Amino acid sequence: MQDEKKAVILLSGGLDSTTVLAMAKDRGFACHCLSFRYGQRQELELEKAQHIARHFGASHLILRVDLDIIGGSALTTGAAVPKDRPMNTVGQDIPATYVPGRNIIFLAHALAWAEVLGADDIFLGINAMDYSGYPDCRPEFLEAFARMASLGTRAGVQGRAFRFHAPLQYLSKKEIIVRGLALGVDYSMTHSCYDPVDGRACGHCDACRLRLKGFAEAGAQDPAPYAS
Amino acid sequence: MQDEKKAVILLSGGLDSTTVLAMAKDRGFACHCLSFRYGQRQELELEKAQHIARHFGASHLILRVDLDIIGGSALTTGAAVPKDRPMNTVGQDIPATYVPGRNIIFLAHALAWAEVLGADDIFLGINAMDYSGYPDCRPEFLEAFARMASLGTRAGVQGRAFRFHAPLQYLSKKEIIVRGLALGVDYSMTHSCYDPVDGRACGHCDACRLRLKGFAEAGAQDPAPYAS
């Protein structure tokens, strides 16, 4: 165990980041999970994240980020979450749930923690397929972030290269679920919904619809509880 | 006033960032100042920042950043601040006061707020001369950050270019003070010390020594209160 390489995993408690954690664990990394309290509508996803990290034997840190004070998004300002949008519009525009700077702020914290831990590897569940609408989920963004990280940290200047892994980058939701199920991920632990009802997924927001479509295409049943 | 361009200013309450605020104001920007509560040893610099922002008629936002939870630096962990180091070593190595990811996290928040405000300009007081030891104060870092920002935000993708201004980048402390005095900055409002005693600067940490040397070279008296 003494030479086990450390990795920082951005863990939201959702399907994607939980699959990424399983992938990092499968590759032999000692996993350090990072979640954020940023004015989400509910604490549910943080509870899920805590449970998931424990399940995978990973350390877990929850940091406060004042995205709600900065404002500007449906996820933090109380604006209505879009429901039952035609599926062909999902992933086309920049969604109302885009939060200015969110992934940049999250990655900046992950980088800082990685530098403190002595971890060179940072994993995150961004995805170019379903979430092409989010500028901060695109591969070219991540490459630019990695370059900035190597120039802006002591570790980078001293020659340590931070590696940002986005193993879901080119996978469809179906493919993500197939990989996760092959790694034994219990998706009943995970939470994706933007607008849950009494702790159960709404089934109608973009996140729920993408998830349900993915399970259907993977020929599997989503074990998570749904309100309708 | 309706066409006044907005700018976000990273304001620590120190000599450098206060000079930057005066410069941005002088250039006609409507200034929105951003400070951080990140486990500093004292609240003194935030009080100073608040006072300074008010003095300049700027809006002011203080955000919480959990740098103290991430750990890893003399500024946030309670390790001893170096005192009376030979001046030729200051700015050579990466100092003990380097905080992993600090400027990256601060800039990420500034970028998010700029996107929400509709500001294209972000000002910060980084400096390549006195602080060459900090990787996240170098011009090449800032260029890489700007490129990442243009790729990772809606505003950037939609063609808005964020401009990161570091007007002190190539100035010595003496030159910064000369410019600030010419703009009428009252430096008694500002705070630079890493280790103040009863609200007064220690006079012996790297920050105090650089500041005092700058005032001496500028042929001016530092109006800030010193403990010794």
Q: What is the dihedral of CA B164, B169, B170, B171, to 10 degrees?
A: 120
- Print the domain residue range for A213: 6-218
Q: Is residue B131 part of a domain?
A: yes
Residues 6+ apart with CB under 8 A from B43: B37
Does residue A192 have a pLDDT over 50? yes
Does residue A137 have a pLDDT over 90? no
> Residue A98: its chain B contacts at CB < 8 A?
154
Q: Is residue B13 part of a domain?
A: yes
Of the residues A148, A153, A157, A160, the best mutation for testing chain B's interface (the one with the most B CB atoms within 10 Å of its CB) is A148
Q: Is residue A76 part of a domain?
A: yes
A73-124 tens-digit pLDDT: 555 555 566 677 665 555 456 666 678 888 999 999 999 999 999 999 999 9
Report the predicted TM-score, pTM, of the whole model to 2 decimal places.
0.89
CB contact under 8 A, B105 and A98: no
B133 interfaces chain A, CB cutoff of 8 Å: no
CB contact under 8 A, A64 and B63: no
Q: Is residue B225 part of a domain?
A: no
ipTM over 0.85: yes
A139 interfaces chain B, CB cutoff of 8 Å: no
CA B85-B135-B146 angle, to 5 degrees, is: 145
Amino acid at A223: P
From A2, A100, A110, A192, select the one nearest B158 (Cα to Cα): A100
Q: Is residue B222 part of a domain?
A: no
B161 interfaces chain A, CB cutoff of 8 Å: no
B74 vs A165, higher pLDDT: A165
Q: For residues A193 and A201, what is the distance between their CA atoms, to the nearest angstrom?
A: 5
With b for 16 or more beta-carbon neighbours within 10 A and e for fewer, the A128-137 pattern comes to bbbbebbbbb
A71 vs A80, higher pLDDT: A71
Secondary structure class of B51 (helix, strand, coil): helix
* Residue A219 Cα, gap to closest chain B Cα (Å): 34
pLDDT tens, per residue, chain B with 228 residues: 456 899 999 999 999 999 999 999 999 999 999 999 987 656 888 999 999 999 999 999 999 999 888 876 555 555 566 677 665 555 456 666 678 888 999 999 999 999 999 999 999 998 866 556 788 888 899 999 999 999 999 888 888 889 999 999 999 999 999 999 999 999 999 988 888 888 889 999 888 998 999 999 999 999 999 997
Average pLDDT, chain A: 87
A96 interfaces chain B, CB cutoff of 8 Å: no
Q: For residues A184 and A26, what is the distance between their CA atoms, to the nearest angstrom?
A: 10
CB contact under 8 A, B153 and A144: no
Domain count, chain A: 1
> Residue A153: its chain B contacts at CB < 8 A?
100-101, 104, 135-136
pLDDT confidence of residue B1:
47
A154 burial type by CB count under 10 A (0-12 exposed, 13-18 middle, 19+ buried): buried
Q: Is residue A226 part of a domain?
A: no
> Residue B136: its chain A contacts at CB < 8 A?
152-153
Half-sphere exposure of A23 (CA within 13 A, CB side): 24
> Residue A70: its chain B contacts at CB < 8 A?
61, 63, 109, 112-113, 116
> Residue B162: its chain A contacts at CB < 8 A?
none
Give the CATH number, domain containing residue B141.
Answer: 3.40.50.620
> Residue A156: its chain B contacts at CB < 8 A?
135
Q: What is the DSSP string of B139-160?
A: HHHHHHHHHHHHHHSHHHHTTP
Q: Is residue B29 part of a domain?
A: yes
* Residue B66 Cα, gap to closest chain A Cα (Å): 6
A79 interfaces chain B, CB cutoff of 8 Å: no
Q: Which of residues 209-228 of B touch A (CB under 8 A)?
A: none
CB contact under 8 A, A63 and B69: yes
Q: Is residue A224 part of a domain?
A: no
Amino acid at B127: N
CB contact under 8 A, A112 and B101: yes
CB contact under 8 A, B98 and A149: no
**Which of A112, A135, A152 is opposite residue B151, by nearest beta carbon?**
A135
